[in-house]
Amino acid sequence: MLRKSLVVANWKMNGSLASNQTWYTRFLLQKLPDIDIVVIPSHIYLPQAAEYLKNTTIGFGAQDIANASHGAYTGQVSANMIKDFGSQYVIIGHSERRSLCQETDDLVAEKTKLALTAQLHAIVCVGETLEQRKANKTKDIIAKQLNTVLELCKNDDLAKLIVAYEPVWAIGTGLVATPEQAEEMHLFIRELIKQCVSSDVANNTRLLYGGSVNASNSANLFNKPNIDGGLIGGASLDADSFLQICMTAKR
Ligand code: PGA
């Protein structure tokens, strides 16, 4: 099994030209571990990411794309547009988009298909709410979210599919899933991919954990065999703490 660790900084709607510049300058001075590291700023700052990250090993990408390639979609940004600025990655179906922008499983699946067709690494987010976990519905919810995507995309090239398990109750709350809870769900997700697609794709797909990861809890999460890295929100805004998290992801 040779899945390379991947740690992704999801900056959400944070940052500015000046603060991003400080982050890049500080981060790029450090000796980086031999893992895949990706920065996801807001769309508007993609040209800046391209400028600072060219000739480095750090990838970058966007937080969302439209579910259409072009046309009358005021305010939307397409897969090819983010590619135009050098993006290699895109986050799809983050829980904040599902809850704040009413994104459905079908919409997330359509966007994933467009991202994969554009040869982007699609980081598809799935996760249950606290109520769903308490009602013992976690696996049903994850299965529905992920299977909708897999059913639509199973005949596409899935080499660039990445799945992020992000329990909604853990995002931005300081309530991190235990390594055992996360590993259980990652194993379940790998099994879903195996059932719907193939063992090969299941074994090769990187599964990230996200939700209140920080420099003190990341090592225990990343030590689990099915946790291939993390999607980091709050703790990625500080270059030093993001670097510390990246250091703990080396296998
Ligand atoms: P958090 O966010 O690390 O701030 O909990 C993670 C995410 O939403 O991707």
DSSP string, 24-42: HHHHHTSPPPSSEEEEE--
Round to whole Å and give the CA distance between 159 and 180. Answer: 27
CA 125–ligand 1 middle distance (angstroms): 11
Exactly one of 96, 103, 166, 183 is catalytic; which is it? 166
- Give the model's pLDDT for residue 20: 98
Contact predicate 107/75, CB 8 Å: no
- DSSP assignment of 126-178: E---HHHHHTT-HHHHHHHHHHHHHHHHTTS--TTEEEEE--GGGTTTS-PPP
Query: Is 43 considered catalytic here?
Result: no
Q: Using the CB atoms, write b or e for 209-225: b if 16+ within 10 Å.
A: bbbbbbbebbeebbebe
- Render 79-135 in DSSP notation, one character per residue: HHHHHHTT--EEEES-HHHHHHS---HHHHHHHHHHHHHTT-EEEEEE---HHHHHT
C-alpha 185/C-alpha 190 separation (Å) is 9
How far, in Å, from the CA of 173 to the mean position of ligand 1? Answer: 9
- In order, the DSSP letters of 182-208 are HHHHHHHHHHHHHHHT-HHHHHHSEEE
pLDDT band of residue 1 (cuts 50, 70, 90) is: low
Binding site membership of 171 for ligand 1 (Cβ less than 6 Å): yes
The H-or-E segment that residue 244 falls in is helix 239-247
CA–CA distance from 78 to each of 69, 71, 112, 168 (Å)? 6, 10, 12, 26
Task: Decide if 94 is catalytic.
Answer: yes
pLDDT tens-place string over residues 81-111: 999 999 999 999 999 999 999 999 999 999 9
Count of C-beta atoms within a 10 Å radius of residue 121? 22
78 closest CA partner among 90, 69, 88, 87: 69
Binding site membership of 41 for ligand 1 (Cβ less than 6 Å): no
pLDDT tens readout for residues 178-218:
999 999 999 999 999 999 999 999 999 999 999 999 999 99
pLDDT at 251: 77
CA of 172 to the centre of ligand 1 (A): 5
- Tens of pLDDT along 6-48? 999 999 999 999 999 999 999 999 999 999 999 999 999 999 9
Question: Does pLDDT of 121 surpass 70?
Answer: yes
CB 229 within 8 A of CB 163: no
Tens of pLDDT along 133-179?
Answer: 999 999 999 999 999 999 999 999 999 999 999 999 999 999 999 99
Is residue 128 within 8 Å of residue 167, measured between CB atoms? yes
Distance 174 CA to ligand 1 centre (A): 9
pTM exceeds cut of 0.85: yes
Q: Distance between the two ends of the chain, CA-based, in angstroms? A: 12
pLDDT of 187: 98
Query: Residue 245: CB within 6 Å of ligand 1?
Result: no
Tokens 């704040």 belong to residue: 100
Whole-number average pLDDT of the chain: 97
Q: For residue 76, is pLDDT > 70?
A: yes
The owner of tokens 């998290």 is 245
Candidates 94, 103, 110, 121; catalytic one: 94
